[in-house]
Structure 1
Amino acid sequence: MAETSTRQPPTDEPPTDEPPTDESSTSRNPRRWRVLGLLAVAQFMLILDITVVTVAIPDLGADLGMGRAALTWVMSAYTLAFGGLMLLAGRAADVVGPRPLVLAGLALFTVASLAVGLAPSGEVVIGARVAQGVGAAMLSPAALSVVVRLFDGEERNKALGIWSSLGGVGAAAGVLVGGLLTGGPGWEWVFFVNVPVGVALLVALRLLMPPMPPWAAGARLDVVGAVLVTSATLLVIYGFIGAGEHGWGSAFTLGFLAAGVAVYGAVAFHLKRSAAPLVDPRLLTRRPVLAGTFVLFVATGLMVAVFFLGTFYLQQARGHGPLVTGLLFLPVALATMAGAQVGGRLIGRIGARTLGVAALLVAAAGLLVPALSLSTLTTVAAVSIGSAGLGALFVVAAATALGQVAPEDAGIASGVLNTSHEFGSSAGAAVISGVVAASLVAGTDVGFARGYLVAAVVAAVSAVVAAMLVPGKPR
């Protein structure tokens, strides 16, 4: 799976005494599977909230008077905050221990979900979505750090397989759940439903999750690096969203994209010069980590783009209500689950590279069909096929990037991986919104077909990159 050594990049601080050993550090912990189940539900809820809003967006926009750009920010604000703070939170999990961050992040996410549902205006919705993203950023890498530290050996591989499947399944199920809730009690319940689930998880995790000593107690947190990463991504996403009104070759779009690239350059400079960088630059250049983050970025970006595109196409161009739209995405959700399950079984036999390339080609083929022949039936059937490939990609990404991560590096490594997940979500929604901007307003087919074509081309090109980047099966 990986061609590098299992040695990890050095931490920011010189090694100190070994952290005290407790029952949480080995697979002998008798509560490990119950804790995994609870954390998996929490992570599922975080991923669900990326796409659960897609079906609700037309109704939400009509109620609060929000336009296309503002509605795109309803999705991107959450994923931008989620991804932009992920590395800082992953490092914090190593510095203070993962348990406090899991509980604090879950509490913030739950309160922010209530605030979105009660929001009287679009501005409040977007602000509360940012708060949701901050809570999710605290919770997600810390939770994965707990999982990595609770399991070892083959049990860790099994636990990571379960965890990695949540990304695709949660994203796919979000559209179905969003349709059922929006078509039933209303779009507010897309967010209200998080409140009782979050409270129940808080109580259970406080009782069952064992204390875990920090691996890097006393190390500094790179707040400047986190601000730079978030700012760079904000500039790029703003440029993508604005391209719908200003044009892809306009000074507005190119200016924001260029500014984002420049700030990313500042991020690279800062990481090399900082005594305690947000992430060790050498970790980012390790082939397994780089390959896993690339695959996850593409998979998430394509999935969110397709769901964002599909919900507007089915509701505005085809006239289906939110409930019918959600039900039409049921095959997509099932196909994504099946793809993740099959991918988990095949990856050990054929290797991550072969599985990743094949999955991307399946996704490209499925997304090309609605670009050539657009209708409700062809779109649902073809996107289901493509989503089976995307589901397998989530397994490829996690297994490639985390398969040989040492427990003491689990927090920051999972932060790197999950950052690509959220940035992929932001980019997917922003790019596809810019590509089909006119059709989102007018409900015409031309822009939607163009959007599916762009997604298919991205998948095909990514298959070529994956063939060169993802490590082959070890001999």
Structure 2
Amino acid sequence: MTDSRQDEAVATPRAEQTFVWTRRHTLMLAVVAAAHILDTIDIAIVNVALPQMKASLGFSEAGLSWVVNGYLVAFGGFLLLCGRAGDILGKRRVLLIGLALFTVASLAAGLATDATTLVVMRGVQGAGAALISPMTLALLATIFPDGPRAKAIAIWGMISGVSGVVGLILGGLLTTGPGWRWIFLINVPVTIAVIVGAVVWLERDPANTRRRPFDLLGAIIATAGMTLVVLGIVQASQAGWGAASTIVPLVIGVVLLGYLVLHEGRVAKDPLLPLSLFKIPTVTGANATQALVGSGMFVLFYIATLYQQEVLHYNSLQTGLAYVPLSLVLMGFAKLTPKLVGTYGVRAVVLVGAIIAAVGMGLLAFAGTDGSFLVNILGPTIVIGVGMALTFLPLSLAAVTGVPADGRGVASGLINVSRITGGALGLSIVAAFAAGYTKQKLESGTSAAIALTDGFRIAFIVGAVLLALAAFTALLLPRKPAGAAAKG
């Protein structure tokens, strides 16, 4: 095929009957996937390095948690705004801005000399990730037509699923090797390489993307509301649901988001979050289910990691390596999932996946103080991996299926909001149950190891219930394949 024919295939991806997957499509997919790795891996990579950061920069216990939470609050708070910005300003342009911001923040975080600077830069990293994340899915929906789109999103979803695992492993290797600062510094050359790839291989945005109006008030309300809700959820896991630091931001955030619905439906001429999106069954069902599935993934990486380190006494590297089989399962089933979606439809695949993941989470509850890696870690996490692989791709696909091209950025942001806020809320609920039960056992004279294990067991049971609920919300998804045949 000549270069002119390749360019024509890239420029007209919607005509599925004439679409030919070229080398350029592979390169575009590689660039988008690499960008997606950056924002997902940074959620997990810092977890194993927190003790070293605390000793180096003099963090307090409460302040240390904001190395993780500062990223999540900014990420979750800015997703809707950044998703809509891509629809209006251009997806490639917004992706490049996000990558540049992420590069600068990573460099500053790696060179931080005090705790405050590190936390602030983690927030800036989160804002950069909010610019990057929705653009990656939106770009795939724009570049590839329905059939090949399933294959592209399968690869994207596989990478997203394994990024958290890779983050734990890479964090352990860097922390025990050159030191915790390289967790951030390594982002700099990688991100620069992705920027070069995006400039060279991604299509320029249409010229008319700059001419559309922007709902500034809606953007301010949505960003403030989402930020406060995520902040309140994060505070709940630390101070409890009854604390003022939890209730105040949650109430204000919910009120702002409630007004946002009124504003977007009746006031805004070009709304930040078009309410018409929720009339699309795939969008509503995908977001409701993703919130519950996200909570299961957060529980797995957070609670299971604590169990390995605090009860089984794994070091940071051993903890990360324990998730290698999970990543292999995710990669393997990511290749199979598009065919299942094309044959059985989104609803059936997600429903089965949620049930399998719930069973795996339930199996973790059988772990004891002398748990076996093969029986209590490897087996359950493999089962969970199968379930997650069967849910992540179909939900990501459903989130942008049937959405007009000029709304895919905000739709992609919305599914990420559901994943982050749902995961944070689910983890807060699970952590509250676990902490309360552990405290009760300690007060009754139970040993620390048994009390912790019993608390983690409660957490896994609640996590399994949340994943089981995802099977019910999956019924909101369409019965037939959602325009995503796997044969492309």
TM-score (norm 1): 0.86
Map 1:14-413 → 2, pairs under 5 A: 24-26=11-13, 31-67=24-60, 69-213=62-206, 216-244=209-237, 246-249=239-242, 253-272=246-265, 273-374=267-368, 375=371, 377=373, 378-413=376-411
Offset of residue 307 of structure 1: 0.6
Are the counterparts in 2 of residues 116 and 125 from structure 1 also a CA contact under 8 Å?
yes
Amino acid at match of 2:134: P
After superposition, give the CA deviation of every residue in 1:287-326 in whole Å (9 maximum; x if it has no partner): 1111112232222332123212222222223221111111
Residues 68 and 345 (structure 1 numbering): CA distance in 2 closer, same or farther, change over 3 Å? Answer: farther
Amino acid at match of 1:81: A
Q: Distance in 1 between matches of 2:207 and 2:430?
A: 41
Are the counterparts in 1 of residues 81 and 223 from structure 2 also a CA contact under 8 Å?
no
Amino acid at match of 1:211: R
Q: Distance in 2 between matches of 1:201 and 1:171?
A: 19
Amino acid at match of 1:357: L
Are the counterparts in 2 of residues 302 and 455 from structure 1 also a CA contact under 8 Å?
yes
Q: Distance in 1 between matches of 2:66 and 2:427?
A: 9
Which has the larger displacement, 430-439 or 451-460? Answer: 430-439
Are the counterparts in 1 of residues 93 and 205 from structure 2 also a CA contact under 8 Å?
no
Residues 133 and 215 (structure 1 numbering): CA distance in 2 closer, same or farther, change over 3 Å? Answer: farther
After superposition, give the CA deviation of every residue in 1:376-423 in whole Å (9 maximum; x if it has no partner): 520343133113211221112012222333433322222222232333
Which has the larger displacement, 214-223 or 275-284? Answer: 214-223
Are the counterparts in 2 of residues 83 and 419 from structure 1 also a CA contact under 8 Å?
yes
Offset of residue 207 of structure 1: 2.1
Equivalent position of 2:417 in the other structure: 419
Offset of residue 283 of structure 1: 0.7
Residues 185 and 292 (structure 1 numbering): CA distance in 2 closer, same or farther, change over 3 Å? Answer: same
Specify which structure has the bigger relative contact order, considering alpha-carbon pairs within 8 angstroms and separated by 6 or more residues. 1
Q: 2:466 aligns with which of 458, 461, 470?
A: 458
Specify the SS of the correspondent of 1:382: helix
Offset of residue 458 of structure 1: 0.7
Residues 317 and 226 (structure 1 numbering): CA distance in 2 closer, same or farther, change over 3 Å? Answer: farther
Q: Distance in 1 between matches of 2:84 and 2:302?
A: 32
Q: Distance in 2 between matches of 1:259 and 1:380?
A: 42
Amino acid at match of 1:470: L
Offset of residue 228 of structure 1: 2.5
Which has the larger displacement, 432-441 or 83-92? Answer: 432-441
Residues 1:472 and 2:472 are matched in the alignment:
no
Q: Distance in 2 between matches of 1:247 and 1:158?
A: 43
Are the counterparts in 2 of residues 44 and 166 from structure 1 also a CA contact under 8 Å?
yes
Offset of residue 245 of structure 1: 5.3
Q: Distance in 2 between matches of 1:471 and 1:192?
A: 44
Are the counterparts in 2 of residues 72 and 430 from structure 1 also a CA contact under 8 Å?
no
TM-score (norm 2): 0.84
Q: Distance in 2 between matches of 1:322 and 1:362?
A: 28
Amino acid at match of 1:309: I
Are the counterparts in 1 of residues 74 and 227 from structure 2 also a CA contact under 8 Å?
no
Amino acid at match of 2:364: P
Residues 277 and 115 (structure 1 numbering): CA distance in 2 closer, same or farther, change over 3 Å? Answer: same
Equivalent position of 1:449 in the other structure: 457
Offset of residue 452 of structure 1: 1.4
Which has the larger displacement, 356-365 or 83-92? Answer: 83-92
Offset of residue 327 of structure 1: 0.9
Are the counterparts in 1 of residues 77 and 230 from structure 2 also a CA contact under 8 Å?
no
Specify the SS of the correspondent of 1:261: helix
Residues 328 and 164 (structure 1 numbering): CA distance in 2 closer, same or farther, change over 3 Å? Answer: closer
Residues 73 and 302 (structure 1 numbering): CA distance in 2 closer, same or farther, change over 3 Å? Answer: farther
Unpaired runs of 5+ residues, structure 1, are: 1-20
Residues 153 and 240 (structure 1 numbering): CA distance in 2 closer, same or farther, change over 3 Å? Answer: closer
Are the counterparts in 1 of residues 233 and 424 from structure 2 also a CA contact under 8 Å?
no
> Identity of paired residues, percent?
33
Offset of residue 433 of structure 1: 4.4
Q: RMSD between aligned alpha carbons?
A: 2.8
Q: Distance in 1 between matches of 2:64 and 2:334?
A: 30
Are the counterparts in 2 of residues 105 and 138 from structure 1 also a CA contact under 8 Å?
yes
After superposition, give the CA deviation of every residue in 1:55-103 in whole Å (9 maximum; x if it has no partner): 2234333443445543443223223322322222222222222222121
Offset of residue 242 of structure 1: 3.4
Amino acid at match of 2:292: V
Are the counterparts in 2 of residues 291 and 466 from structure 1 also a CA contact under 8 Å?
yes
Q: Distance in 2 between matches of 1:427 and 1:183?
A: 32
Specify the SS of the correspondent of 1:276: coil
